[in-house]
Structure 1
Amino acid sequence: MMMVKIERKAMGKSNKIKNTDRNGVLLALEKDLEFIKSVATNHKNWNEETARAVTKLIGWGSVERVLKIGKKARSLKRSHAREWEI
């Protein structure tokens, strides 16, 4: 059984996963990647401004990394993040 604890903070602050096993971390990463993919493929203009907004929403620190992942997601035909090679 997988245990994931999420620490909720005030609006505008990121959520952090604490005290979880490897599967919980992988699940959270997969969810983040799926979110990046859905925004990148559904948004008309995937650019640095959009990537910056997504970065703030998911609590990552690197806009460049989110932008790169979004560009790759737009070019891939695979639908699930676990099938990606990043």
Structure 2
Amino acid sequence: MNPEICELFEAIDAHKEHMEQLLRRKELDAETKSRIFVDMGAIESFNMQIQEISATLNPGIPEPWASMSADEIIKGLGVYG
């Protein structure tokens, strides 16, 4: 995975942990807790968008294609040359 994307995931995880710590505080009112939950939902959505972008930029070759030769793939697709 791209190093910059890894850094983004680390930053997201750190922010999420901080918000979870905030939620454990007993002195927070309901409105503040509600805002934190909304923010955590937005963070999760952002996290999923980054994963989708990463998969688009760095697509992997699914099995069994990854372990096949080019000739085997072509024959498997029904294209003979």
| TM over 0.5, shorter chain | no
TM-score, normalised to structure 1, is: 0.35
Could you state the TM-score of these two structures normalised by the residue count of structure 2? 0.36
Greater RCO (CA < 8 Å, at least 6 residues apart): 2
Higher helix proportion (structure 1 or 2): 2
**Structure of greater Rg:** 2
